[in-house]
Amino acid sequence: MNIREAAQAAQKTAILLAACGKDVKNQALERIARALGERKDEIIRANREDLARSERENLAAPLLKRLKFDESKIQGVIDGIRSLITLEEPVGKTLLATELDEGLELYRVTVPIGVIGVIFESRPDALVQISTLCLKSGNCVLLKGGSEARATNRVLYEIIAQAGREAGLPEGWIHLLETREDVNELLQLDEFVDLLIPRGSNEFVRYIMDHSRIPVMGHADGICHCYVDADADLKMAVEIVVDAKTQYVAVCNALETLLVHERIAPAFLPLLKDAMDQKDVLLVGCPRTQAIIPVTAATEADWRTEYLDYKLSVKVVQDLDEAIDHINTYGSGHTDSIVTQDREKAAKFMALVDSGNVFWNCSTRFSDGFRYGFGAEVGISTSKLHARGPVGLEGLLSYKYKLIGNGQVVADYASVKRKFSHRKLNKECPL
């Protein structure tokens, strides 16, 4: 089956999947979780094959870390699926109930989007997270992972597809794409595909946006900031910055630029330098930073760069206002954090920083669907439309209006024979 046929089949299947009840979907998710555990040795062997090939091809160390899918990561995605099962059924929720007139009731009810194409980086865990979120939300999914993970992705796809069949899911709800040509053809299938979610570099996401009429939800860069205010607890600040930068450098919510208030910079920056030296992090800094600690000079490009590596740009700022201005100028709208003991300053930062995730006294690495309690995420959106921040179940839903009447006609209202009441109702849609 070619990509066009797969997309066409998915469109037809989407109607059937949308009608599947929560029990069928949750049973399928449980089967998937169980099968991943039972076949973990097979998954690990395939992943070792991918790792060996990627090492021969000199894949960068941070990307190799992303690619690795060991027993611990497998258990992590299994835990994520089990968490997903416990979440409230997202499809069929009543968002609005209004009595237009006696016996004429309007409801707004959640429904799946339909067919979603997801193009993601070389993280096998992403395939599991994305496919299970799509399943829970009643969406068919076309998956294209990085070529680095092709052996692992094939095994995972087979496991998920088989478990779905055994649970009674309609055939064709999930498809795996494997070539660059598949991606280019996918971009042209707006008659079958309802939404594209790309996960990758800024260049890649822009390419997707520029070459398709299908709506795109994604983020271009993860240029995340942390601002250490004059009133910050320095020990707390060091711990937060180290975690945000080094806990996992090759992800979009890792810290890329540190902003430090000038008043505490002489005391804070040496502490930070010692901590980052222990983690082998290369620091680049503004002239004021260089006057305090020995670092390479930062360039204008550094403020606009998502390193995804053991590198951090540092800038000393005059005050909170300068920090906010810097973030809104150079940031990508992803995740930004302030470290301060001053509640009013934290409130101002969180109100004025124009990002999908704004934090107070915690690491940017918390910007994650699983950590937010979404079960997992299909990605993080920096768009302001439809979904923003970590995209879980709610971001994979649309809605429809259901109007339930008893013979009413518009002519009666046009002639003022009858009048609308528009009374809010506190009830679920009965259909």
Identify whether the C-beta of residue 196 lies closer than 8 Å to the C-beta of residue 214.
yes
Of 73-77, 216-220, 248-252, the range with the lowest mean pLDDT is 216-220
| CATH 3.40.309.10 domain locations along the chain | 224-366
Model pLDDT, residue 381: 82
pLDDT by residue (tens digit) across 296-338?
999 999 999 999 899 999 999 999 999 999 999 999 999 999 9
Q: Which residues contact 31 (CB under 8 A, 6 or more apart)?
A: 163, 164, 166, 167
Task: At 8, list the tokens.
Answer: 């066409």
pTM, two decimal places: 0.82
Model pLDDT, residue 200: 72
| CATH 3.40.605.10 domain locations along the chain | 3-218+383-397
pLDDT by residue (tens digit) across 86-144?
999 999 999 999 999 999 999 999 999 999 999 987 789 989 999 999 999 999 999 99
pLDDT at 201 over 90: no
End-to-end alpha carbon distance in the chain: 37
CATH topology of domain 3-218+383-397: Aldehyde Dehydrogenase; Chain A, domain 1 (3.40.605)
Question: Of 296, 288, 295, which is closest to residue 274 (Cα–Cα)?
Answer: 295
More confident residue, 204 or 197: 197
Beta bridge partners of 255: 224
pLDDT by residue (tens digit) across 237-249?
999 999 999 999 9
**What's the chain's average pLDDT?**
94
Task: At 396, list the tokens.
Answer: 């994979």
Identify whether the C-beta of residue 361 lies closer than 8 Å to the C-beta of residue 240.
yes
Model pLDDT, residue 390: 82
pLDDT at 220 over 70: no
More confident residue, 373 or 242: 242
* CA-CA-CA-CA dihedral for 187, 206, 215, 91, to nearest 10: 100
Residue 369 pLDDT level (bands cut at 50, 70, 90):
confident
- What's at 356, amino acid-wise? G
CATH architecture of the domain with residue range 224-366:
3-Layer(aba) Sandwich (3.40)
